[in-house]
Amino acid sequence: MLESSSWVSEARWPYSDGGLELRASHIKVVSLGLEGGIARDIIEDLESMGASCTWMDVGGSGFDRTVVDWRSVLSGAHWLILEMSSFGKEESLASAVGAAMVFAELEGAKTALVVDEETMMDYEKAWGSVVERIRQIGFVSMSVGGRAKIASMENVNHSEVGELLRLRGLVSVVAIMDEQSRLMEIHHNLGIETGSTTIENLKSMTASMLAGLPSSNYSSEGVRYSAGI
């Protein structure tokens, strides 16, 4: 069970199960957002793999971003996991994730952004805030539905979204998943990977990639393996 206060929980679970232990058990991730979002689900998947995870519930009682020791929280972290919807809701949440991104960059942690399809958010505001910070983001994952929303806001064809983020936004890895067919399209520094994944949904695929990428050298084979292709 997780040890938790009203707004923060942390787990460091040992893990040994063949191929993944050298990856997941050496990964440290931090995430913040609201309970019920996909980021929390990704954290749970990573915890089950043995990763060292810290979750901050911004909606929890007692959370105050001004007293969080961001340097300590993010020290040694590989990833800061955020949801796009965090930028399109209340200002306190947007401010908290913005502050976390600044310190993540200072501490050498990569920001991983999930383009969630939360209905209760201002999409234009959220995407505008993401674009302003796009050079601070190292990984983006989305469903084909999320890709369609971005394509609409950017006035581009759906097929152009991955290249847009990879080449113009300089995002290192952009992973797009069709959850019904399980087809993947991944844009990265060495090219584009496509294929069918063995992973069933966006949150588990994102967790798998975040667990595998740090030890993959971001090679084409490593990217494919981390995505279950």
Dist. CA 204–CA 211, nearest whole Å: 10
| CATH of residue 35 | 3.40.1190.20
pLDDT for 25: 65
Higher pLDDT: 17 or 218? It is 218
Percent of the chain with pLDDT over 90: 76
Report the predicted TM-score, pTM, of the whole model to 2 decimal places: 0.88
For residue range 133-185, list pLDDT tens digits in order.
Answer: 999 999 999 999 999 999 999 999 999 999 999 999 999 999 999 999 999 99
Selection from 115, 100, 228, 87 nearest residue 171 by Cα: 115
| Cβ pair 76, 168 in contact under 8 A | no
For residue 93, the tally of other CB atoms under 10 A from its CB is 22
> Is the four-CA dihedral 217, 84, 184, 159 of positive or negative sign?
negative
Determine the structural domain holding residue 76 and report its residue range.
Answer: 3-226
Helix (H, G, I), strand (E, B) or coil at 161: helix
**Three-class DSSP category at 110:** strand
> Based on the number of CB atoms within 10 Å of its own CB, is 227 exposed (0-12), middle (13-18) or buried (19 or more)?
buried
- At residue 69, the pLDDT reads 93
What would you report as the CA-atom Rg of the chain, rounded to the nearest whole angstrom?
Answer: 16
| pLDDT > 70 fraction of the chain, expressed in percent and rounded | 89
**1: Cβ contacts below 8 Å, ≥ 6 apart:** none
pLDDT above 70: residue 130 = yes
Report strand pairing: 79-83 vs 137-143. unpaired
Measured CA to CA, the distance from residue 35 to residue 56 in angstroms comes to: 9
Pairing of strands 52-57, 183-188: unpaired
158 or 90, greater pLDDT = 158
Q: Is the pLDDT of residue 3 over 90?
A: no
Compute the distance between CA of residue 224 and CA of residue 229 in angstroms, rounded to an integer: 5
pLDDT number for residue 4: 41
User: In this predicted model, what pLDDT tens digit does every residue of 5-61 receive, in sequence order?
Assistant: 444 444 433 333 333 333 576 899 999 988 999 999 999 999 999 999 999 998 877
How many independent structural domains does the chain possess? 1
Position 23 scores a pLDDT of 52
* Other Cβ atoms within 10 Å of 123 Cβ, number: 18
